Amino acid sequence: MARALRWGVGLLLVVSLSIGAFVLLPFRSWLPGGTVADVPLSQVVNGAAFNRLFPEPQDGDQLVFTQEKRGFSEARLKHDGQVKALLAISDVTTAPEARSKFEASQSRLQGWPLVEQGAQATALLVADRFQVKVIGQGEGLDPEQRQDLLARFNLRGLAALQAPA
């Protein structure tokens, strides 16, 4: 009996130690779910590479960068303190489903497929990898104004961006 008890206590100790180690030690960064859609960070273009490709603001407009993450950069186009539009470039590696809407697209901008999403958003897929988007805010923008903004991005520079090895 005493021997069974000793074994029991020993086993309990081992189990509780290993559970404790798993809970307390910083294993979490090794677990899946750390990155978007579990795509490794090294396969996604850093958002800092997108910043210089945004359009130069014109006639009294102001461009304020608001978010920069791996595979994503966003800025606001403002006029007199009012937000006119959200401008964004993203790497679709982490969102492959975003590609599908361009398949049926008939319209082109500088050779790249163009899609309207709802009343205020226009998206462009460059080099089958980078999505450029303009979303009208506040009073909103016409589709022509949005396409004009899209054309003012440095699309050639964007297409030339390479994924990190």
Partner 1 sequence: MSSVLERLERLPRRNLTVLAIKGLSTLVPGGWTNITRADALIGDVLGSSDPELIRQVRARADVLSQARHEGYGRALSLYDAVNRSQKAAGGLRLLANIGGALPLVKRVADLTPTSDSLQAADLSLKVAAEMLAFTQVNGLPGDSFGDFAAALGDYAGEARVRMAALICFDALLPLGDQALQRLDGLLGGLHKRDLHQLPAYAGMARLLPGRGDGAHLTFLRRGIEPWLGWAEGFSSQLGLTGQKAVQALEGTLGPWQGSFKQMATFLDAFTDTYQHTGVQAVARRLVERAAAEI
Give me the least distance between CB of 88 and partner 1, in Å please: 3
Pick 21 or 48: Cβ nearer partner 1? 48
Pick 20 or 140: Cβ nearer partner 1? 140
Pick 45 or 135: Cβ nearer partner 1? 135
Binding residues vs partner 1 (CB under 8 A): 28-29, 33-37, 41, 47-48, 51-52, 64-70, 72-76, 81, 86, 88, 90, 92, 94-95, 98, 117-121, 131, 133, 135-137, 140
77's enclosing H/E stretch is strand 72-79
| Contact call for residues 127 and 5 (beta carbons, < 8 A) | no
Sheet holding 112-117, edge to edge: 61-69, 72-79, 82-91, 130-136, 121-126, 112-117, 108-109
| Contact call for residues 77 and 139 (beta carbons, < 8 A) | no
Give me the least distance between CB of 107 and partner 1, in Å please: 19
